[in-house]
Amino acid sequence: MSDRPTVGTGTFGPDLVEVFGPSQQDGGPELVQLLTPEGERVHHPEFDHDFSAEELRGFYRDMVLTRRIDTEATALQRHGELGIWAQLLGQEAAQIGAGRALRPQDYVFPTYREHGVAYCRGIDPLNLLGLFRGVDQGSWDPAEKNFGLYTIVIGAQVLHGVGYAMGIQRDGAVGTGDPDRDAAVIAHFGDGASSQGDVNEGFIFAASYNAPVVFFCQNNQWAISEPIERQTRIPLYQRALGFGFPGVRVDGNDVLATYAVTKAALQRARDGQGPTLVEAYTYRMGAHTTTDDPTRYRLSDDVEHWKLKDPIERLRVYLRRNGLVDQAFFDDLDQEAKDLGHHLREGCKALPDPQPLSVFDHVFTETTDELVAQRDGYEAYLASFEGEHA
């Protein structure tokens, strides 16, 4: 008989067995997977899903176009058109799986790397480039897209997400049984951010108030140059139990598994069952940002190993092997990706430079007297230079 504490029957809250079934006994199997790196479909007792051919083709299209966004933005930065770019190469499945599991009324709190999730929420990727070009602070409407502005401060969005989830709870939009009303929040962060106080404080508040939030951690195994083993002695998903809610580790390079797990976690939140930590176990194939040189701190053998687990290639193999696509599908998608690339290249160069006073436009929802005084002072300062060029 195991001397492992029985979690869920005391004051700690639910454990994996209670929430997701008997296969999660003692934390295993550790990795939820529905599509192997070789493109073989496997089944899972708690997180299986019947995917239609249309859904599978849609996942593939989403990942290909998301990768093209990343490739084009990286090239634009190299050509001096962007100040910086946060790459997502290799993490397409984690983002598309999580993004497509959302309902329209759900709300997303992103980091600065959720380009695939932004794409799923209908945001023109050109809007993302404006932020990295330095011409705006994020030009999409968060209220329209239910997708927050990118957060540069590491981990801060987790606190924002928990607070918003508590607001949903108080609005009575949780646990009503109405699929068009019940809502959840998903807060994205990386393995590096898991060491931040804001993230852990968010966990505490979410557990204490049973907030309808999914904590989605893309564990790409590198916090810039720090490997994951320097941050934690246990798998990240197991930390959740210490806060009193369940955690699950999913193959973050498997779009099918990521979708199924995130969908289940979001529904649990909408039903009023509280938070879940999803650890999407993946790998950052590129640099942390375009200012980073990963060859200085990691081995090329690791990168080559993870290339064999490419999220797009495994789904491509599955689609071809099962006769779910023809060559025309790939040809059309290739042209669509080329058109997207052209849109980004030309659109980025055409983005207008901001007016100096526009920095005051969106500081607060309602402009304060103090802000007006600051704006007037800055306007007068700018006007003082006009005579010098007369």
The active-site residue out of 297, 305, 321, 342 is 297
* Residues 114, 279, 203, 145, CA torsion sign: positive
Rounded to whole angstroms, how far apart are CA atoms 371 and 127? 26
Is residue 181 among the annotated active site residues?
no
* Residue 170, phi then psi, degrees to nearest 5: -75, -20
* Residue 289, phi then psi, degrees to nearest 5: -140, 180
The active-site residue out of 44, 68, 288, 314 is 288
Q: Are strands 226-227 and 222-223 parallel, antiparallel or unpaired?
A: antiparallel
Residue entry with tokens 């060559």: 327
Rounded to whole angstroms, how far apart are CA atoms 360 and 367? 9
The active-site residue out of 67, 239, 270, 284 is 284
Is residue 67 among the annotated active site residues?
no
Helix axes 125-133, 327-349, angle to 10 degrees: 40
Dump the DSSP string for 314-348. HHHHHHHHTT---HHHHHHHHHHHHHHHHHHHHHH
Is residue 284 among the annotated active site residues?
yes
Q: How far is CA 182 from CA 14, 103, 137, 170, 179, in A?
A: 22, 10, 30, 12, 6
The three-class DSSP label of residue 231 is: coil
Peptide bond into 110 cis (omega under 30): no
Rounded to whole angstroms, how far apart are CA atoms 297 and 292? 10
* Cα atoms found within 13 Å of the Cα of residue 66, Cβ hemisphere only: 32
Angle among Cα 262, 32, 19 to the nearest 5 degrees reads 60
- Indicate the residue type of 119: Y
Q: Measure the CA dihedral 17/39/219/113, to 10°.
A: -130
The 3-state DSSP composition of the chain as helix, strand, coil percent (nearest 5) reads 50, 10, 40
Active-site residue list: 284, 288, 297
